[in-house]
Amino acid sequence: MSTKKDKLNQKDYYYMKLAFKLAEDNYGLTGENPSVGCVIVKNDKVISTGKTGINGKPHAEFNAIKSSKEALKDSKMYVSLEPCTHYGKTPPCSKLIIKSKIKEVIFSIIDIDERTAFKSFKIFKKHNIKVKSGILKNEGKIFYKSYLFNKIKKLPFVTGKLAVSKDHFILSSKKKRITNEYSDNITQLLRYRNDSILISSKTLNLDNPKLNCRLQGLSSFSPKRFIIDRKLSINNNSFICSTANTRNTIIFYNNGLKSKINQLSKKGIKLIKLPIDKRNFFDLKLILSKIYSLGCRNLLVEGGKNLTKSFLSNKLFNQFYLFKSSTKFGSSGKLKVTGELRLLNYIFKNSEKINTYTDKDIIKLYSK
């Protein structure tokens, strides 16, 4: 027999799930801020909802409060993450919650940001607002895995992606496409969900990729493009160069002709000069740190064989998507990655097939 407490808990779980559904809408699109969902309930009825705005503002709580058409006095607020209590680019949400006379605030997990962490309890209780946390706590930790990593490591959350033939080639002398159009849509979705993308100049010159999101209506959410190009060997006529501007294209280099530097700069490409080690390699962690300093929090690495191997060897991937075709390339195949796939399976202990339609292709997600 269910008790009154059980029913209350079920309602808390229901409204918190709704908050996470809202947060999911803008996941990866909120810049330096986490994507948060907010639900306001009064007399067991949802009277308003909100989610973090594109690029991180306004915050979810602000949007929910401002969009309510009913008085908020004595209502409950469900938030997927602890409401902010500090002044930043916007005033603290806690101040607006207090002003709105909301009687109870329920959130899933503590915000790891030291400016806010645990502070909401004291602030709300001081104003006679009930506070409760821990609803769907495990789900919250999974949902905010990249945000928590960002805050702790001061690095972007790195997702790897590689497409291979059934016999483990990533290039063919006869076929341009490795996987099918359904898999390509998933790739576009990954680009939509990540604010930045990284490739090497070798891959760029070989494939002339667009690196944009080509899902209908979502092209404006294409990621910022980063290229590792030690000697500035990038093809001036590539799609990347022809579509570059000061906001979307950055090259990490070590040395290059002055004339090439001027050409790329005139195209609007930002050039960042970095040191190399005795093996003529960049410090990939330094590159990640630079990307983080430019405001990027979720990085997709669509590397070729060498860049993928370097990231795997340095254990810099947080998760990895492997797209596997049902077609063998055989004698037309180039650049086999069997060794890299062994390394992938060694580093990541968890893997699962993505449950979406891709016809005969298989997509596996590797995670820690």
Give the residue numbers annotated as catalytic, written as ranges: 61
**CA Rg, the chain, in Å?**
23
Whether residue 253 contacts residue 232, with contact meaning beta carbons closer than 8 Å, is answered with yes
DSSP state of 326: S
Whole-angstrom CA distances from 339 to 55, 309, 346, 347 are 39, 9, 11, 12
The tokens for 239 are 């799609």
**Closest among 110, 132, 108 to 17, alpha carbons compared:** 108
Non-local CB neighbours of 143 within 8 Å, separated by 6+ positions: 20, 23, 24, 27, 80
Non-local CB neighbours of 91 within 8 Å, separated by 6+ positions: none
Which H or E run includes 96? helix 93-99
The tokens for 64 are 């929910």
The tokens for 178 are 């490795």
Any idea which residue has 């207090």 for tokens?
A: 98
Q: How many CB atoms lie within 10 A of CB 130?
A: 12
In whole angstroms, give the CA distance from residue 364 to residue 161.
Answer: 10
**Closest among 263, 298, 352, 259 to 31, alpha carbons compared:** 298
